[in-house]
Amino acid sequence: MKMKKLKIQIPNNVTKNRLYYLAGFLDGEGCIQIKKSNRSRITNKSPEYSVAVTISNTDITIPKMLRNIFGGSIFERKFKRKWKNCYDWKVSNKKAIYFCKIIKPYLIMKQKQADNAILFGLTIEYWGAKRVSNETLNIREMIYMNNKKLNKRGKN
């Protein structure tokens, strides 16, 4: 399988201090996921994978800042009782991989998950529906399982 190189350029209006600050939010209030959808059971096709980064906060300031710099979407989660509403900033696939590539050097807790997202991005030759080789599927599954293990809650 031929792996392609991801080109990254930090936006001009973003300082290193800002990247450290945003990385702290990802480490503490965020998640880097590789998701798998088993379409194969229904359509006899290979599984579909996607990459997503989400950062949540009860103040919309950080999600807005992230959206202004990196794109993506903001979703509001409303809670009953005594909890404040929560704002989720989310980027998927190309934008998620791009964000991980930029923010990775500034992360402390989630560097391995960022590595997985970046490595996963290297297996993508074309975004959209396209058959891939069994070798590529095996690599994606390995990255997916590794990330799932890193994101597991609880002991061990």
Distance of CA 15 to the CA centre of its chain: 21
Query: CA 138 to CA 76: how far, in whole Å?
Result: 36
Give the model's pLDDT for residue 1: 45
Over pLDDT 70: what percentage of the chain?
A: 85
Q: What tens digit of pLDDT does each residue of 28-52 get? A: 999 999 999 876 555 656 788 899 9
CA neighbor of 96 nearest in space, from 117, 125, 115: 117
The DSSP string of 64-88 is: HHHHHHH--EEEEE--STTPPPEEE
Global pTM reads 0.85
DSSP string, 30-59: EEEEEEEE-THHHHS---EEEEEEEEEESS
Give all domains of the chain, ordered by start, each with its CATH number: 16-150 (3.10.28.10)
Q: Output the pLDDT for position 95.
A: 93
Give per-residue pLDDT as tens, 96-106: 999 999 999 99
